[in-house]
Amino acid sequence: MVIELDELLHVHLETITNPHLIRYYQLLFIIEGSGNLWIDSNKYSFQNKDMLAVSKGLIQIMEFSKNIKGFAILFSEEYIYKHPRDIGWVNNLLLFDHATASPIIKLQDIEYLELLIILSKVRAEISSENSFVKDEILFSLLKTFLLITERVKRAVSGNDNHYEGEWHYLNKFKESLEA
């Protein structure tokens, strides 16, 4: 699901401005405006051309400026876990690792435009009346969006070897806890 941030603000103002449990993955793509995001009592400030990634199971509060423009991309585990191997790559994304990294990604102009193009394709596909392989196209676009964002986050954090070291043990613990 893709929803415009100003619509999210107007329709779900009561929910998002109070502490609430996140039951899905979300990506907030900020085009214009600013705000704050509290995740498990940690405050993160964001602005134009930022992206925020929040995984399920966290307590969140959102605060947006009145001129906010952007999109929220929301998806469930069931949607992303099409095949058993999908659990591994999603759980290994630095993008959704709030234990060791900030949820905010500062996008450069080229990255911002690349992701905005993919997001435009997602929105066009959602509104398309042609249902032939629609789910597969949407899944592929979402996966591409996630992988490009992951590459950007790793480049910014300098963490290209996220699968090594202590992260491996933390991830195994998270998987055991989920099971």
Domain boundaries, the chain: 2-178
Q: Which of 163, 167, 117 is nearest to 141 (CA)?
A: 117
What phi and psi values does residue 129 have, to the nearest 5 degrees? -85, -15
What phi and psi values does residue 30 have, to the nearest 5 degrees? -95, 120
d(CA 82, CA 139): 9
Average pLDDT, the chain: 87
In this prediction, residue 158 carries a pLDDT of: 74
- Give the residue-averaged pLDDT of 102-120: 96
Note the pTM of the prediction, 2 decimals. Answer: 0.85
Residue with tokens 């929910």: 15
Q: Three-state SS for 135? A: helix
Dig out the tokens for 100 from the structure.
Answer: 């060791």
Residue with tokens 């876990």: 81
pLDDT (tens digit, 9 = 90+) per residue, 11-54? 998 999 999 999 999 999 999 999 999 999 899 999 999 999 99
Q: How many helices (H) and strands (E) does the chain have?
A: 7, 9
Strands annotated E in 10-103: 20-21, 25-32, 35-39, 42-46, 50-54, 59-64, 69-75
Q: Give me the count of residues in the chain.
A: 179
pLDDT class of 107 with cuts at 50, 70, 90 = very high
In this prediction, residue 171 carries a pLDDT of: 60
**What separation, in Å, do the N-terminal and C-terminal C-alpha atoms of the chain show?**
26
pLDDT reading at 8 higher than 50: yes
Q: Judge: domain 2-178, CATH 2.60.120.280.
A: yes
pLDDT class of 111 with cuts at 50, 70, 90 = very high
Report CA torsion sign: 24, 28, 29, 32.
Answer: positive
Q: Which amino acid is at 166?
A: E
